[in-house]
Amino acid sequence: MDVVKGREVLRRILREINGRGYGNYKALKGQYSLGRFVLTVDHVQPDPFAPGSSMRVSVGLRDSGIPPHCYSSRIRRIALCDFLARRFHRGAVCHSRQRGTGRSGQIAIPRPGQEVLQRSSVVIKGEYIEVRFTMGLPARGRSIDAYQAEEMFLKDLPEIVEGSLFYENLSAHHLSAHIAVTEDAEHLRGVLDSHGLVAFVADGAVLPRASGVEDTPLKGDRVVPFQSPPSMRVRLTLPNRGEITGMGIPRGVTLIIGGGYHGKSTLLRAIERGIYNHIPGDGREFVVTRKDAVKIRAEDGRRIEKVDISPFITNIPFGEDTSSFSTDNASGSTSQAANIMEALEIGTGLLLIDEDTSATNFMIRDQRMQRLLPKRFEPITPFIDRVRALYRDLGVSTILVLGGSGEYFDVADRVVCMIQYRPEDMTREAKDISRACGGDRPLVETSFGGFRMRVPLRESLDPSRGKKTVKVAGKGLNRIVFGRYEIDLSCVEQIVDPCQCNAIAHAMVLSISFMDGRTPLRGVIERTMQRIEQEGLDILSLTPTGGFAEFRGLELASAINRLRSFRVKQTDG
């Protein structure tokens, strides 16, 4: 273990290296006691233009003064660490300024979004709170500016730590609300199944967002708070808030219909984000969805590797076997079929689909098209002919946004119509219309059947590049660099934080160790996620990093499936 040095040792080292070449900052590596916290310098950037130097600060839980009830359970620890990360980030932004060339003067941890996530930037380790952050060490040109660095280490950093990690300087009210809201949402999601629900949208929820690139709630006189239709309103009890009411979406097939710009897709968007907990004031704090819900869409151009899409597509030209379908350039319909089958393979219980991002010929073939083009000439069995079997045979529910095809009334259990941003239960009216039309379109109702599982081949995942045995990283919200390949995740819509993307990239490397040539992909994913659950996000890196956030096995599988070198062998499922 490193010897913990004092404040004056840090000051002396800085002054000894002042004006020297930037590489001399490496003399700072080690641990320093700076009053009420310990600073660890893990890695020093090679030059002022490189990513900031990696550092940690740790504070004793007892010294922090934070009451033990704030971290008495797993979900409370996650909420506490999320709150502290936001405070540290705010302080870092306030104290960061340009102090020379390149990244000089920057103090940073990843900016949290609207979701409350388990992150590696702030963790509770034993009896300590630890914050991982980066610091751009100051330079004039490529020479050390020790006096600016001294101000950062001995003035700015202590002010950030004092303001973000000590209870006396925190808002007890806001911390309590942050923990209570997170705990209530987690509880709410946990009781959905026992009430026969797949999702819940609270009365008073604010669903629309400020803009297409800003995830904060829309504000102003035109905001319409959500109100459940009386026939769908349920009452549930939360551990902190007490009784809450809202729209419960039951298992089965639910349609969300309505005219354009009346809030259909906004409602679905909130439901797809309901797999996460949200911060107080987000508006969607009590919009919750079962954890294994998957948003499905068409994805032209993606690669597909030996996926059994035969429940939806058969008898394609040249006799290609769709029970083992592969392509490097999928069409809209084949990609949407593959996305569904891959989600079923990993174990989803709820599909979320918006017709605006779906392949039309995959979703529906109307009566006229059926008459003109007989089934023997059409390889696609549209989703309308499979959605009931998905629920009946596999127990997989569907929530579907529609604006252009009333033929889905025939297969729906519930029809919710959005009228001027307010939902109305129009199930009875939809069924009356369905009966009046006499089922003009013949439905092809057959068993969904089984499908073939896939065993990943270990050698097809190679994270090396050049001399590096592992070269992987998340790049923003929707791109992963994995060895020599780039993976496009722009159509995997439930990734909400760049740190999730980065963690998924490293989890792909961990998953290789479970690929033994016998275990199906689902088993590989489950074992990988179990290992992360047991040992935390730190298992993904050899050195402590603040760049990870929790993710689901479904998104890990999505990344692996989109790796263009990925290969499998099939087995009966």
Could you tell me how many helices (H) and strands (E) the chain has, helices first?
Answer: 15, 30
CA distance 47 to 60: 33
Mark whether 143 and 25 lie in a shared domain: yes
CA distance 283 to 422: 16
Count the domains in the chain: 3
Total number of residues shown for the chain: 573
Average pLDDT over residues 96-108: 96
pLDDT tens-digit map of 202-232? 999 999 999 988 999 999 988 999 999 999 9
Mark whether 16 and 160 lie in a shared domain: yes
Mark whether 370 and 487 lie in a shared domain: no
pLDDT tens-digit map of 18-29? 999 999 999 999
CA distance 548 to 58: 18
User: In terms of Cα–Cα distance, which of 87, 76, 176 is closest to 131?
Assistant: 87
Last residue of a domain, one of 437, 465, 488: 437
CA distance 266 to 421: 9
Mark whether 428 and 511 lie in a shared domain: no
Is there a domain that residue 241 lies in? no
Last residue of a domain, one of 390, 410, 437: 437
Residue 165 belongs to domain spanning: 4-170
Mark whether 371 and 477 lie in a shared domain: no
pLDDT tens-digit map of 357-403? 999 989 987 666 666 666 666 688 899 999 999 999 999 999 999 98
Contact 413, 253 (CB under 8 A): yes
User: Which residue type is seen at 27?
Assistant: A
pLDDT tens-digit map of 118-148? 999 999 999 999 999 999 999 999 999 999 9
Mark whether 403 and 483 lie in a shared domain: no
Is there a domain that residue 184 lies in? no
pLDDT tens-digit map of 481-505? 999 999 999 999 999 999 999 999 9
Average pLDDT over residues 422-446: 81
Query: Quick check: 38 pLDDT over 60?
Result: yes
Q: 249 versus 433: which is more confidently predicted?
A: 249
Check residue 443 and give its pLDDT. 65
Contact 484, 470 (CB under 8 A): no
Task: Give the number of other Cβ atoms within 10 Å of residue 572's Cβ.
Answer: 7
Residue 315: pLDDT band with limits 50, 70, 90: confident
Mark whether 389 and 467 lie in a shared domain: no
Is there a domain that residue 277 lies in? no
- Three-state SS at 571: strand
Is there a domain that residue 461 lies in? yes
Is there a domain that residue 524 lies in? yes
Mark whether 432 and 498 lie in a shared domain: no
List b or e across 310-328, with b for residues whose CB sees 16 or more CB atoms inside 10 angstroms.
bbbbeeeeeeeebebbebe
CA distance 94 to 86: 12
Mark whether 507 and 392 lie in a shared domain: no
For 347, list phi and psi in degrees, rounded to 5: 120, 30
Is there a domain that residue 229 lies in? no
C-alpha atoms less than 13 angstroms from C-alpha of 325 in its C-beta half-sphere: 31
Contact 151, 95 (CB under 8 A): no
Mark whether 308 and 406 lie in a shared domain: yes
Residue 449: pLDDT band with limits 50, 70, 90: confident
Residue 318: pLDDT band with limits 50, 70, 90: low
Check residue 212 and give its pLDDT. 87
Check residue 58 and give its pLDDT. 98
Is there a domain that residue 278 lies in? no
Average pLDDT over residues 308-315: 91
pLDDT tens-digit map of 145-174? 999 999 999 999 999 999 999 999 999 999
Is there a domain that residue 446 lies in? no
Query: Quick check: 573 pLDDT over 60?
Result: no
Query: Quick check: 565 pLDDT over 60?
Result: yes
Burial, 179: exposed, middle or buried (Cβ in 10 Å; 0-12, 13-18, 19+)?
Answer: buried
Mark whether 59 and 151 lie in a shared domain: yes
CA distance 126 to 536: 13
User: Which residue type is seen at 370?
Assistant: Q
Average pLDDT over residues 293-308: 97
pLDDT tens-digit map of 78-95? 999 999 999 999 999 999
Helix or strand holding residue 40 (H, E): strand 38-43
Mark whether 31 and 156 lie in a shared domain: yes
Contacts for 536 with CB less than 8 Å, ≥ 6 apart? 120, 123
Contact 102, 49 (CB under 8 A): yes
Query: Quick check: 406 pLDDT over 90?
Result: no
